[in-house]
Structure 1
Amino acid sequence: MSALNKAKGFKKSKSGTYLSIGTTAFGALSVMKQAKKARTENDTLRLVDAVVSAAAIATGIALLLRELKRLGDDDVLLG
């Protein structure tokens, strides 16, 4: 199996999904800093950007959690 195929398989594995959740959650720290800075500077446009980014992160994590649940359902042996 080539390295590229292994990487593609990892992305769809439980470990890859956990890693994606972690990196997405890590991005939330940057958004929180951005929102805090926007509030202290009374910059409405940056605050709106932070809110939209936070919504995108929340949606991304929700999608990853759904994928993780689907992967968990595939692992159950029926029979």
Structure 2
Amino acid sequence: MSALTKAKGFKKSKTGTYLTIGTTAFGAVSVLKQARKARSEHDTLRLIDAAISAAAIVTGVALLLRELKRIGDDDVLFG
């Protein structure tokens, strides 16, 4: 099995999904900082951008959680 094939399989594994959720959380921290700065500077456009980014993060995490549930349902040992 090549390294590329292993990497593609890892992305769809339970561990890979948890890692993706973790990296998404770091993106959420950045969006929080952006929103706080926009509020302090009364910059409406940046605040809207932060809100849209936050919505994208929430949607992404919801999709990842659904994928985790699907992986859990397919797992014969832990079913």
TM-score range, shorter chain: over 0.9
Greater than 2 Å deviation, 4+ residue runs? none
**Structure with more relative contact order (C-alpha pairs < 8 Å, separation 6 or more):** 1
Cα distance in 2 between the residues matched to 1:20 and 1:75? 20
Kindly provide the amino acid, as one letter, of the partner of residue 36 in structure 1.
Answer: R
Local SS of the residue matching 2:76: coil
Size of the alignment, in residue pairs? 77
Structure 1 residue ranges without an equivalent (≥5): none
Corresponding position: 1:76 with 2:76: yes
* TM-score normalised to structure 1 length: 0.95
User: Aligned ranges for residues 1-79 of structure 1 at < 5 Å?
Assistant: 1-76=1-76
1:6-52 superposed Cα distances (whole Å, 9 cap, x missing partner): 00000000000000000011100000000000000000000000000
Q: Percent identity?
A: 82
Partner SS, residue 23 of structure 1: helix
Q: Which runs of 5+ in 2 are unaligned?
A: none
- Aligned-residue Cα RMSD (Å) equals 0.7
